[in-house]
Amino acid sequence: MSALDCKEIERHVKKIKVKNYEDEDVFVVNNSALEMIGKGRQGAVFLITDDICVKVYGDVDDCEREHYAMSLGQHTSLLPKIYCKGNNFLVMEMVYGVDLREYMQSQPLTEELSHELIKMLITFKEIGYERIDHHKRQIYLQNDGSLKVIDVGRTVWRNRTYPYPRKLLQSLGVDYRNLFIEHVKKIDSDLYEEWEYYMRMEEISKRLYGVLVNKEKVDTKQLKQETNKLLTTKDPDMHYKSLENLVSKVVKEQSKREKEKQEKRKKGKSKKKKDKK
């Protein structure tokens, strides 16, 4: 099979069923001759040649979205090249190297690696991704020390994103996260402070949410009794006074508005006169 014969690849893909399950990896029935090399919650990936693989999606919208996200970054060296696209599949370059989850099991997080990670975040931003964040298992260290990433579907078409790379930091684990943050601080203390600030805000928000959820339920009977203090019509004197206040407030506001209108009209007329002259 010629590597880039998309029609041929489509014939193989037709023999593969991929089904989504919430919060679980896809379920795959593979009646094709292609070897499956990995899967996640959105799709399964099959080997075409040593250099090319195909990701088959359970949901065509996920395919559309990842295709769009990958297209945006094709001019960078961060993403696998796309070769062709079908309704529910994407043919792309094979990414080799070691993913950072595996790498960090035995190797330290050096300053050089932290610099590569910062460069990756900058490239994400330059590409125009809304979410510049990635789990360490989706980041692959290459032979020349540079990084490549897979699985960029979730970087685009998002309403809300965290304003700092939360997933990356969390995925590093506490020790490596602190070390990475120290490396960031050495490069740029402003960026360090901004991340620290957002993390602090997140902690406070979490705590406050917990406080509100666990707060003793308000005694609504008691509350209803106390709202009496806000009522004004029960006592005739107070009622009369309140009404008088209301009417006088309305009159004041309306007369102010009327004055402003007249002034505007006057100005309009004198401008017309001037223009005629």
Ligand X SMILES: Nc1ncnc2c1ncn2[C@@H]1O[C@H](COP(=O)(O)OP(=O)(O)OP(=O)(O)O)[C@@H](O)[C@H]1O
CA distance 135 to 12: 30
> Looking at 53, 120, 149, 169, which residue binds ligand X (CB under 6 A)?
53
Residues in contact with Mg ion by CB under 5 A are 42, 151, 153
Q: How far is the CB of 47 from Mg ion (least distance, A)?
A: 18
- The three-state secondary structure class of 4 is coil
Amino acid at 121: L
Distance in Å, CB of 151 to ligand X, minimum = 3
- Considering only residues 67 through 96, tell me which ones interact with ligand X, judged by CB under 6 A: 80, 92, 94-95
Residue numbers 112-151 binding ligand X by CB under 6 A: 138, 150-151
Q: Which is nearer to Mg ion, 133 or 151 (CB)?
A: 151
Let me know the angle formed at the C-alpha of 52 by 45 and 124, rounded to the nearest 5 degrees.
Answer: 75
Residue 45 in contact with ligand X, rule: CB under 6 A: yes
Q: Is 39 helix (H, G, I), strand (E, B) or coil?
A: strand
CA 67 – CA 47 distance, rounded (Å): 18
97 part of the interface to ligand X, by CB under 6 A: no
Least separation in angstroms between CB 80 and ligand X:
4
Provide the 3-class DSSP secondary structure of residue 40.
coil
Choices 9-17, 34-42, 163-171, 239-247 (CB under 6 A): range interacting with ligand X: 34-42
**What is the b/e burial string over 248-265, where b = at least 16 CB atoms within 10 angstroms of the residue's CB?**
eeeeeeeeeeeeeeeeee
Six-digit token string for 265 = 């009209």
97 binds, among ligand X, Mg ion, none (CB under 5 to 8 A by kind): none
Nearer to ligand X, 166 or 185 (CB): 166
Nearer to ligand X, 88 or 183 (CB): 88
CA angle, 198 then 124 then 22, to 5°:
75
Q: Among 37, 243, 247, 251, which residue sits at the site for ligand X (rule: CB under 6 A)?
A: 37
In this structure, are residues 56 and 13 in contact, taking their beta carbons and an 8 Å threshold?
Answer: yes
Residue with tokens 């684990």: 173
Min. distance of Cβ 152 from ligand X in angstroms?
Answer: 8
Q: Which stretch binds ligand X (CB under 6 A): 1-9, 41-49, 102-110, 219-227?
A: 41-49
